Amino acid sequence: MKTTAAAFLLLILSIVVIPAVPAFISKESDSSPQTETQYEYDIESIENSSENNILSTEPYKVLDISSGKVLEVPVLDYVIGAVCAEMPANFGTEALKAQAVAAHTYAERRRISAANSSDPDLKGADFSNDTSKYQGYFTKEHAKECFGDRFEENFAKIASAVEEVLPYIITYEDVPIIAAFHSMSGGYTESAENVWGVPVDYLVEVDSLSDMTAPHFREKTAFSREELKVALEAAFPDIKLSSDMKEWLKVMSVSDSGTVLTVAIGDITVSGSEIKDALGLRSASFEISFFDNQAEITTKGFGHGVGMSQYGANAMAAEGKNWREILSHYYPNCIISESF
C-alpha cells in the first residue's frame, strides 16, 4: 500500500538523501559506514518571491541542543562543518565541492523555511545541531576529535574546497532545491516519488553504476526465526504470522531502480522503506531468502537512494568530472546559482 501523507512525514526521517538518504560520515577510510544518520528534508513548497531570491549572507542561527543556546555560525564555517560531518575527507576534491554546494543549498532552504513558518522548538533558529532532524555539522573542535592526527590536512582540504564554491547553491525555479543525498545507490538513484510518495521534478532516477563497486555495496544480514518474529511484531503489532516463515516476508513490487516498493508481511502490506526501518537494513533495495529456519536479506547500496550518491560523486571526480558536472548529473534540470 502507498504510504499516507501523515506516515510520509514520519518516514521522511528514514533518509538516506538521503540523503541518503542520506549520510553522516566521518570515517577516514574508503569503507562505508555501518550506520547512517537520518534527518528530514524540507519537502514543503517554497514559493518563488523576491524575498526568497535575495539569499542572506548573515550567519546561520543554529540551536545547540546541549546548551539550549542559539549560536550564530558564519556561512563559511557552517558549510565547512557540514562537509566535515557528511563526507569522508579522503574523497576527491571535486566530490567535496559538490557536497559543499549541496550542504549550502540545504541550509539556505532551511533558512527560508524557518522564516516562512517558524518552529517554536527551534527558539528562533534556522535549524539545530540535532542530526536526527537536520544536516550534520561539526564544529572545528568536533572535527579535531574525529580527524585526530590528520586534522590539519583534512580540515585544510575541506576548507579549501568549500571556499572555492561558497557563493553557489543549486536552484530550481529560482529557489533552493531539496538537496537530498545518500551514501550509495543500488546502481541507479531513486525517485522521490517512489521513496517518499511525493514527486519532485529533479529528484528522479539517474545512472550511478559506479556505486556497484563501492565498499560494502552488497551486504547480507541474517535473522533467526525468533529475531525476525520479534522485529516484525514490534514494528507492526497487528500482523498475524503463519507457521510458515517463508510467508512472513514477500516482496510484491520493485521500482525500476531496484527499490522494494511493497512487501507482504503476514496479512498486511507495507512499504520497502518500512521494512528497512523495522529490520535496520542499509537500504530498501533488498532481496530475501529463507533457509534452515533463517531469513537472509541482501541489501544493495546504503541510504534512501534519492538525489546525489556520495560514492557516485567520488567516482565521477576520479574520472575527471568537476563539481558542476557531478551536481548536474544527480540533480537534472537544476541551475547552479550564486547565493551572494
SS3 at position 125: coil
What is the pTM for the complete model shown?
0.86
What grid cell was written down for 251? 516482496
Query: Amino acid letter at 287?
Result: E
Per residue of the chain (340 residues), give pLDDT as tens: 333 333 333 333 333 333 333 333 333 444 434 345 455 666 665 655 445 444 678 999 999 888 999 999 999 999 999 999 999 999 999 999 999 999 999 999 999 988 888 788 999 999 998 888 899 899 999 999 999 999 999 999 999 999 999 999 999 999 999 999 999 999 999 999 999 999 999 999 999 999 999 999 999 999 999 999 999 999 999 999 999 999 999 999 999 999 999 999 988 999 999 999 999 999 999 999 999 899 999 999 999 999 999 999 999 999 999 999 999 999 999 999 987 6
What grid cell was written down for 207? 545512472
Cis check: omega of the bond before 21, within 30 degrees of 0: yes
Query: Amino acid letter at 2?
Result: K
- Cβ–Cβ under 8 Å, residues 260 and 248: no
The DSSP 8-state label assigned to residue 56 in this structure reads -
Q: Which residues pair with 290 in a beta bridge?
A: 295
Per-residue CA distances from 221 to 22, 211, 280, 286 (Å): 20, 20, 10, 10
Per-residue CA distances from 48 to 126, 172, 180, 338 (Å): 19, 10, 20, 16
- Cβ–Cβ under 8 Å, residues 164 and 87: no
Q: Where are the beta strands (DSSP E) in 49-97?
A: 60-63, 70-73
What grid cell was written down for 290? 529463507
Output the pLDDT for position 33: 42
Output the pLDDT for position 45: 59
What grid cell was written down for 292? 534452515
Residues 6 or more apart in contact with residue 31 via CB below 8 angstroms? 215, 216
- Cβ–Cβ under 8 Å, residues 224 and 294: yes
Per-residue CA distances from 24 to 37, 165, 195, 249 (Å): 5, 21, 19, 30
Output the pLDDT for position 23: 38
- Cβ–Cβ under 8 Å, residues 19 and 180: yes
Output the pLDDT for position 117: 80
- Cβ–Cβ under 8 Å, residues 71 and 64: yes
CA separation for the pair 63, 71 (Å, rounded): 6
SS3 at position 302: strand
